[in-house]
Amino acid sequence: RAQHLYLGYLDYEGAIGELELARQTVPNDPRVFFWRGLIQRRQGRWEESIRDLELAIKFDPRNLLILEETAFCYRAVRRYAEERATLDRVFAFEPNDAVTKVERALVELNSKADTRPLHQMIDSIRATEPAAMPTIANALLFCALAERDATTAKDALTALGENPINLTEDNVRFNRSFFEGVVARMAKDESKARLAFTAARAEQEKIVRAQPNYALAVCALGLIDAALGRKDQALREGRRAVELLPSEKDALDGSAMVKYLAMIAAWVGDKELAFEQLATAIRLPTGLSYGQLKLLPVWDPLRGDRRFEKLTEEARQPVMVK
């Protein structure tokens, strides 16, 4: 019932109430602490979330999902040493898990802007476990973008097929055409970029028409419009996404809306709004990292401005959460 209230109705307090009743009956059941931890991070109660997820690990130390979600929490608040340690626990019982290997290497990219461990790990998996490549294709794309390697980025898109794709480590999904535009623009092929972004817009607009109040879809449309230079529409959609899903309502996805509004503003040349929103975003558990700001081409419009360099350095520090 707690899962039903949480996933079906976003009734956080009702779900936690049900979990408390369950805890009284089965006090050592890891599922109680796991689900409570997931709900608490949506509420912005990150320290409590991490404590409950660590308790879930205590009662079920070989549960891959619990370890992955705990590692995600540490990544979101930029506590990288604890993220490393959590991922390392997986290797005790799943030493060859390709996804965990890649997540472990991503820690170095996020914390130090060093792509080499991730690049080397992907090369190793390609050589020894080629069948696992589809499971890490999004990481391959992420690495290629960070290294400005258009050829490898295209290979990653081929491996991803028509599946929705992450731009950064959050729940916002983009279609393949959008990324074809990003890669083409990175390669200085503006004609191909516009064609791809136009196709991406047509596809994304259908989703938004069907779900006009779905903030994550509205947010994605806003970034596509920004890529096409549709400034007023892009900003309107970015702001609408923040209004639909404020971080006070959903500390996980709501915080991501702030990050994407910063990116939209940067892409359309509204630097004041971009820096205002980016300053907010890096102080929220968005997963936005020093490495992402330092390396990803999506932040290029802000480079060279001292305010951006200052915020990039600030992103080296953990997020202060309650």
Question: Same domain, yes or no, for 221 and 322?
Answer: yes
Question: Same domain, yes or no, for 85 and 109?
Answer: no
Mean pLDDT, all residues of the chain: 96
Confidence of residue 1 (pLDDT cuts 50, 70, 90): confident
pLDDT tens string 237-246: 999 999 999 9
The DSSP secondary-structure symbol of 296 reads: -
Is residue 238 within 8 A of residue 219, CB to CB? The reply is yes
The mean per-residue pLDDT over the stretch 204-225 comes to: 98
Domain that holds residue 113: 96-163
Choosing from 93, 118, 150, the residue where a domain stops is 93
Question: Same domain, yes or no, for 185 and 283?
Answer: yes
Please state the domain count of the chain.
3
Residue 189 confidence (pLDDT)? 97
84, pLDDT greater than 80: yes
Question: Same domain, yes or no, for 83 and 130?
Answer: no
Residue 94 confidence (pLDDT)? 96
123, pLDDT greater than 70: yes
pLDDT tens string 27-83: 999 999 999 999 999 999 999 999 999 999 999 999 999 999 999 999 999 999 999
Residue 111 confidence (pLDDT)? 98
Choosing from 67, 93, 119, the residue where a domain stops is 93
H-assigned helices in the chain:
2-3, 9, 12-25, 30-42, 46-59, 64-76, 80-90, 98-112, 116-128, 137-146, 150-160, 176-186, 190-210, 215-227, 231-244, 253-267, 271-281, 290-295, 306-314
129, pLDDT greater than 70: yes
Question: Same domain, yes or no, for 110 and 253?
Answer: no
Choosing from 131, 163, 195, the residue where a domain stops is 163
Question: Same domain, yes or no, for 48 and 118?
Answer: no
Question: Same domain, yes or no, for 177 and 311?
Answer: yes
Is residue 19 within 8 A of residue 3, CB to CB? The reply is no
Question: Same domain, yes or no, for 180 and 64?
Answer: no
Question: Same domain, yes or no, for 147 and 235?
Answer: no
299, pLDDT greater than 80: yes
Q: How many CB atoms lie within 10 A of CB 158?
A: 10
Confidence of residue 2 (pLDDT cuts 50, 70, 90): confident
Is residue 90 within 8 A of residue 67, CB to CB? The reply is yes
Q: Which residues pair with 173 in a beta bridge?
A: 166
CATH number for position 222? 1.25.40.10
Question: Same domain, yes or no, for 8 and 69?
Answer: yes
Question: Same domain, yes or no, for 176 and 312?
Answer: yes
